Amino acid sequence: MADDVVPFDLAGCLVRVRERDQQAARQLVEHLYPMVIRIVRAHLPRRVAEEDLSQEIFLKMFSRLAQYQGAVPFPHWVSRIAVTTCIDHLRAQKRRPEFRWADLSEQETDVLDAVLTNENDLAANDAMAAHELVHKLFAQLKPEDQLVLRLLDLEQKTIAEIAQITGWNQSLIKVRAFRARRKLRRLFQELRKKERS
């Protein structure tokens, strides 16, 4: 059929990139861009432009291409570069912003107040504020821990999928998730106390 999409020949493309074929290299970037930008957008550190970060990831990919042995599928290998680059940028920020009621927007305050004081589900129009709040709470965690919890709770990925994306072993992921949840539980206790006072 004429409208059949031809599957991208990744292996062939990689061979041509290794022979320094610029057109193949451009095709490779375009093929991997949606995956890389999805990771970048999910873990984008403050004050870093998504295009700059994705450019850095692709430059690392090209400079390390000789090290790729094919032990894992190529997109997984690139996703690990993307994850590591995002974590490096998050680490570079050093100081995590303190979570304060005063810094929240009016809608975010209402949403936080609602989840802390009653047991009802949030209204559909509170979704965006809840999403923003979740990101602010994630920012209180260590970069590796927030990455695990974001993938686990927000994107609902399995431990095995997270292991593929990050290259970390499953026990380490479970430890990081446990640590992140403990920190979040403590944070919610503090928020409750502040809310009551």
Partner 1 sequence: MNLYDSRHPWSRLIRAARAVRPEQPGAAPHGFSTRVVALAWTKGTSAGWLLERIAFRAVGVAGLLAALSLILNYSTPATGGATDWRDEPVMLPADDVVVMVDLMD
Which residue lies nearer to partner 1 by CB, 172 or 191?
Answer: 191
| Residue among 92, 91, 130 nearest 110 (CA) | 130
Q: What DSSP string runs through 20-52?
A: T-HHHHHHHHHHHHHHHHHHHHHTPPTT--HHH
3-state DSSP assignment of residue 105: coil
Q: Return the range that interacts with partner 1 (CB under 8 A); candidates 24-32, 74-82, 97-105, 162-170.
A: 24-32
Q: Return the range that interacts with partner 1 (CB under 8 A); candidates 88-96, 99-107, 148-156, 167-175.
A: 148-156
Question: Token pair for residue 3?
Answer: 């409208």
Binds partner 1 by CB under 8 A, chosen from 8, 9, 15, 26 = 26
Residue 121 contacts partner 1 per CB under 8 A: yes
- Alpha-carbon span 78 to 65, nearest angstrom: 10
Binds partner 1 by CB under 8 A, chosen from 153, 157, 164, 167 = 153
Binding mask 50-89 for partner 1 (x = CB under 8 A): -x--xx--xx--xx--------------------------
